[in-house]
Amino acid sequence: MAVQVVGRSLMTSDLTPHQAKSVGAGGWVVSFLPGRTLTTEQATAALQAAEAVAAVNVLAGRVGLTAMETVGLATQEAPWGEPDCDGGLRRFWRRGRADR
């Protein structure tokens, strides 16, 4: 993932066509969030999210799904119960379930 700032006024990515443009005073507008003014950190995160969606779209296509279908299905309760693993995945799994 490679979000780059061009001339302090434009953020681009080599993985998505979306961009962010500086609107002055530290504010940025992202192409897929029109009407919202974001901080530099927020605009960078938005473009990174767009990059992640592009990656999911490629992977989803390999199993015959759209990115939206894949995300929707992957965020549902797992039918086999909680995975038996150590470390961060278990914490993520529990946090994700508790947030619903």
The strand ranges marked E within 1-100 are 3-6, 10-13, 20-24, 27-30
pTM of the model: 0.72
Q: To which residue do tokens 């995975």 refer? A: 83
Summary mean pLDDT of the chain: 85
Query: What is the per-residue pLDDT across 58-97, written as a single tens digit (0 to 9) for each?
Result: 999 999 999 999 999 998 877 777 766 665 555 555 555 5
For the residues 33-42, what does the mean pLDDT come to? 95
